Amino acid sequence: MQYRPLGRTGIMVSPVALGAMMFATSFGNPDPADSARIIHRALDAGINLVDTADAYGDSEEVVGRALKGRRDDVVLATKFGRAVDDDPAHRGASRRWIVTAVENSLRRLGVDHIDLYQLHRPDPDTDIEETLSALTDLVRSGKVRAVGTSQAPASGIVEAQWVAERRGLVRFRTEQCAYSILNRGAEREVLPAAQRFGMGTLIWGPLGQGMLTGRVRRGGANDLRRVGLLRHLSDERRIEVVEQLVPLAEEAGLPLTHLAVAFVVAHPGVTSALLGPRTMTQLDDLLAGVDVALGDDLLDRIDGIVPPGGDVSALDQEFRPPALLDPQLRRRPVAVRSAA
């Protein structure tokens, strides 16, 4: 593999990384031993970045056990901030939670440091200076090597960089954003902002949350649609795009999965695309396409199907800021006048 710099951290990582959400036994692979074999297969193939989160069930524990004896071969990334249980205090980006969350992750992973510690979702209720101050202490103590964000808007990326510079705090060195042929919104501002500040980018959802595997087709009965848990699996707009991409991939002599991942890593602002296999077969299929490179003609034809910067539809797991969720934040109060 041709390794790439992770922003300006000095860390070199593979162009595809291993996302570990599907190693959680409660909703992913129920066999930790099998997950360990998948992790080892990925490492043997040259993948050197493994990404998990405290909100992914017991994924951190599964990953930690699998990395025994191979810790130095891995850039180990995890995330904090999303709810881990029903306690409202066990989430967010406050100093109080960060210092607890990192100790919990270190214990579950069975390591003495985390290479990349990421804020899983923006926390509008916490001042970014509070978050960066706590993360700075973690870096200085040696528990964390670098810090990053996930699903931060471009404005949040810029604000955090300015605060870090003014206050002498650690900078967010990476951003983990959603990006695929079906969701190209990151091309508008997030990827350019990350490039502007020298940040590395990790991409989640390069397969469009399963839509770009080719297993969801119009009129087809398949295991993904039978699950019926995610709204995008029945989104006709996304299915229509898939129907246009399938023959394009076939014409190029590529599986749709290889076309999808190659599209993502072709962007100059992308460092590494996260692969989230649940089985060894899925991993082997994705590894077979690691060296695929798309020519300009093929990329132009993809642009003709989904325009640059466009999203076919919203993702199920995307961050939605309070201004979109709370109508009162979008409506100026109107004084009620009593009738004469």
Query: What residue spans define the domains of the chain?
Result: 4-329
Verify whether residue 3 is a known catalytic residue.
no
Give the per-residue pLDDT at 236: 85
pTM of the predicted protein model = 0.91
Buried b (16+ CB within 10 A) or exposed e, 63-73: bbbbbeeeeee
Fold of domain 4-329:
TIM Barrel (3.20.20)
DSSP letter for each residue of 39-101: HHHHHHTT--EEE--TTSTTHHHHHHHHTTTTGGG-EEEEEE-S-SSS-TTSSSS-HHHHHHH
Please count the CA atoms within 13 angstroms of the CA of 329 that sit on its side-chain side.
6
Report the pLDDT value the prediction gives residue 218, as an integer from 0 to 100: 77
- The candidate with the shortest Cα–Cα distance to 179, out of 218, 139, 150, is 150
* Buried-exposed string 35-45: b where 16+ CB fall within 10 A, e elsewhere: bbebbebbbeb
The confidence score (pLDDT) of residue 174 equals: 98
Catalytic residue among 3, 56, 117, 179: 56
DSSP 284-321: HHHHTTTT----HHHHHHHHHHS-TT-BSS--TT----
pLDDT per residue as tens, the chain (340 positions) = 899 999 999 999 999 999 999 999 999 999 999 999 999 999 999 999 999 999 999 999 999 999 999 999 999 999 999 999 999 999 999 999 999 999 999 999 999 999 999 999 999 999 999 999 999 999 999 999 999 999 999 999 999 999 999 999 999 999 999 999 999 999 999 999 999 999 999 999 999 999 999 888 876 655 444 444 455 566 789 999 999 999 999 999 999 999 999 999 999 999 999 999 999 999 999 999 999 999 999 999 999 999 999 999 877 777 777 777 778 777 888 766 666 5
CB-based contact 167:133 (threshold 8 Å): yes
What are all long-range contacts of 129-132, with beta carbons under 8 Å and residues at least 24 apart? 129/163, 129/167, 129/169, 130/93, 130/94, 130/95, 131/93, 131/94, 131/95, 131/98, 132/160, 132/163, 132/164, 132/167, 132/169, 132/170, 132/172
